[in-house]
Copies of this chain bind each other. A is one copy, B any other.
């Protein structure tokens, strides 16, 4: 079984992509809604929560863990790999790899939470492969609450996006990484504001693709017995959580609270 965790519901964009790309695998998701959001919090706190989430998934039978949260991927991957035996897949490497392949002028933009931007993980990952590339980052802390509220098309959201993206507009980037699993839900207004010529990199689909390649190379890691199940757990529920979840999956969803 594939285990996926996130700080809340944003990571469901990854789960949805995994469901679509790997329909033959069972999947278990855990959204830490009771402690959401992770983005503004400290590395120490995010690491503690990530350990707890991983333990939850392993107890339910997960054989591989996807950290479907850029903030947790940025600061907790190393610790999780030390703590646990199962493969830990994060969302940064697939997105960074794709950004490098996409960029022609070597000017890459990154938008993410404060935790992700502050960790410097994207510039580091990209710089290790392509030292000549320039990486321009901007933290966009209000986008997560806007998405969680379902304000995907509101005028205020577009204005806030314009404010956040403004510094990147000047940098002549040709590629922009949506470095937070919530952001694919704002793809359309982001594309409108950053310009048609900039390629948007969605870490969710890139990560699902990466997991697929990993499982082709390591088919023994995740078992495929019995009926395929997709179970979605959360540490709490909110009025908007289910709405956003159903928006992501375009189907009625059930959130098991545990």
Residues of chain A whose beta carbon lies under 8 Å from any beta carbon of chain B = 33-35, 40-42, 44-45, 114, 118, 141-142, 145-146, 148-149, 151, 155-156, 159-160, 163, 235-240
Main secondary structure of the interface of A (DSSP, over half): loop
**Nearest-neighbor residue (CB-CB) of A155 within chain B:** B159
Partner pick for A142 among B33, B44, B145, CB 8 A cutoff: B145
Instruction: Give Cα A110–Cα B151 distance, bound, in whole angstroms.
Output: 22
Closest 8 CB pairs of A and B: A145-B145, A45-B236, A40-B238, A34-B45, A42-B236, A156-B159, A156-B160, A156-B156
- With a CB–CB cut-off of 8 A, which chain B residues contact A45? 34, 235-236
Q: A34-B35, A45-B235, A141-B149 are in contact. List 18 more A-B contacts (CB 8 A).
A: A34-B45, A40-B148, A40-B238, A40-B239, A41-B236, A41-B238, A42-B237, A42-B238, A44-B236, A114-B238, A118-B239, A142-B146, A142-B149, A142-B151, A145-B145, A155-B159, A156-B160, A159-B159
